[in-house]
A and B are shown apart, each in its own frame.
Chain A
């Protein structure tokens, strides 16, 4: 059995008493204390996540923009220096290889931030489709990534980071220093609250983490990360997205440049749309007693019609939420559905997403 990989913060995570679990081949903190308390810290104060398991693939050279324009569903040519965008790497059948963010450092240097579970797959995909045109580098093993999230994130980061954070808008980034270490600071996140992601050299991870904790940030694990992103209705690869799902089925239309086309998978995505999608992703709330979980069947009108892709109790709303695929006929807001929990149908209703509005 292969040993689990660890992040640069592994020793510190253990020192802080984190409960560690295997995730995407890494030993990761799922919680440091109470998941609900960590979740609340992000919604009301500031929480700090070690997400160093995620990957970073760099593209260098004059061919970088064209290569990425071909690889990604989002527009790359309209990015400017210091901007970041969400997009999908798609395959030739219109499914999703991975959901990623693309950063433009300058016209000849971009990088993708990719899901930990997909680092090797994405690397091979990029090599296959772009190695002839650009210089590729996988910096995942040398890059630490911290996410500082919550309404107080800016106030806390300001004391640790030299840059003018007030002027840094969402989906922008800058290169600065944090606690004396070089850092790429982006105003992005996966929680639905304001916040920052800090790309650091491995040696900087622990000093920056400690400085942010001293500033009042509460350590948060993957458990809270999941309940937070669920409230924001953000997809998780392997749940809402996989290599069979079209981004349009998952409601990600605005990240797909279908009219411009020219990216891998565009034709298939268009064909599948023309043929009519057989399923769409919806958000739902439990009405009866019970918690929906990934894998539970969804029923409507007495028939099995789909399945839950993610589900959990929402600490912010005090109700149980979920995401799942249903046929378009059952996708309208207000449609009653049933979640099959331990062989019994429990009432739920399709609702609009995000469940918790971005402040």
Chain B
């Protein structure tokens, strides 16, 4: 894999999602490590606005040429916005996973600060361990 980008300003889950916390809203997507692992993304299936999600449960699907993978919710909450642009341009996840590749915005169930997530350093170690295992 080429160098894995892990912005300091974000929080991360073990399932390779990132969370940007901004007041009462958390934006969620998949990380650079995930998009490199997956390869060319050809399809993203996202839930509808208004749906509630539970931490650790699948909230959607991401497909590469060869594989179908679940997207796991890093936090619990209600979906307030969905990136409809990914329907036409799933490759935005490969090109700009922390920007245009964002997937959903959630109003977190437990307030503005989602717990149980990793900071950039801890997520970096999580990626490094998996790379070593090959």
Interface residues of A (CB under 8 A from B): 30-31, 34-36, 223, 226-227, 289-291, 293, 312-313, 342
Check if B5 is an interface residue, CB within 8 A of chain A: no
Contact residues of B: prevailing secondary structure = strand
Besides A227-B65, A312-B65, A342-B61, 18 more A-B contacts (Cβ < 8 Å) are A30-B66, A31-B39, A35-B39, A35-B64, A35-B66, A36-B40, A36-B65, A223-B39, A223-B65, A223-B66, A226-B66, A289-B43, A289-B87, A290-B43, A291-B68, A312-B66, A313-B65, A342-B45
List 9 tightest A-B contacts by C-beta distance, closest first: A313-B42, A35-B65, A36-B40, A291-B43, A223-B66, A34-B40, A291-B63, A35-B40, A223-B65
Give the residue of B39, B40, B45, B68 whose beta carbon is less than 8 angstroms from that of A293.
B68
A-B pairs under 8 A by CB, number: 32
Contacts of B64 in A (CB 8 A): 35
- Total contacting residues, chain B, CB less than 8 A: 12
Subset of 14 A-B contacts with CB under 8 Å: A35-B64, A35-B66, A36-B65, A223-B66, A226-B66, A289-B43, A289-B87, A290-B45, A291-B43, A291-B63, A291-B68, A312-B65, A312-B66, A313-B42
> Quick check: A291 and B42 within 8 Å, CB to CB?
yes
Which of chain B's residues have a CB closer than 8 A to the CB of A31? 39
| A289 contacts across to B, CB distance below 8 A | 43, 87
What is the CB-to-nearest-CB distance from A124 to chain B, in angstroms, rounded to a whole number? 31
Nearest Cβ on chain B to A294's Cβ, whole angstroms: 11
**In the complex, A113→B42 CA distance in Å?**
33
Give, as a whole number of angstroms, the nearest-CB distance from A319 to chain B: 11
The interface of chain B, by Cβ under 8 A from chain A, is: 39-40, 42-43, 45, 61, 63-66, 68, 87
Which A residue sits closest to B63, measured CB to CB?
Answer: A291
Question: CA of A226 to CA of B65 in the docked complex: distance in angstroms?
Answer: 10
Cβ-closest chain A residue relative to B40: A36
Residue of A nearest to B64 (CB): A35
Report Cα–Cα, A313/B45, bound state, in Å.
15
B40 to chain A, nearest CB (A): 5
Residues of chain B within 8 A of A35, CB atoms compared: 39-40, 64-66
CB pair A313 B39 closer than 8 Å:
no
Report which of B39, B43, B63 forms a contact with A34, defined as CB distance below 8 A.
B39
Nearest residue in B to A290 (C-beta to C-beta)?
B43
Note all chain A residues with C-beta closer than 8 A to B43. 289-291, 313
Contacts of B39 in A (CB 8 A): 31, 34-35, 223
Q: Distance in Å from the Cβ of A295 to the closest Cβ of chain B? A: 11
| Alpha-carbon gap, A168 to B68, bound state (A) | 42
Residues in chain B near residue A223, CB distance under 8 A: 39, 65-66
- The chain A residue sitting closest to B43, CB to CB, is A291
Q: Say how far A218's CB is from chain B's closest CB, in angstroms.
A: 15
Chain A residues near B87: list those with CB within 8 A. Answer: 289
Instruction: Report Cα–Cα, A291/B67, bound state, in Å.
Output: 10
What's the least CB distance linking A143 to chain B, in Å?
Answer: 27
Contacts of A226 in B (CB 8 A): 66
Q: In angstroms, how far is the closest chain B Cβ from the Cβ of A292? A: 11
Measured between C-beta atoms, what is the minimum distance from A108 to chain B in Å?
Answer: 43
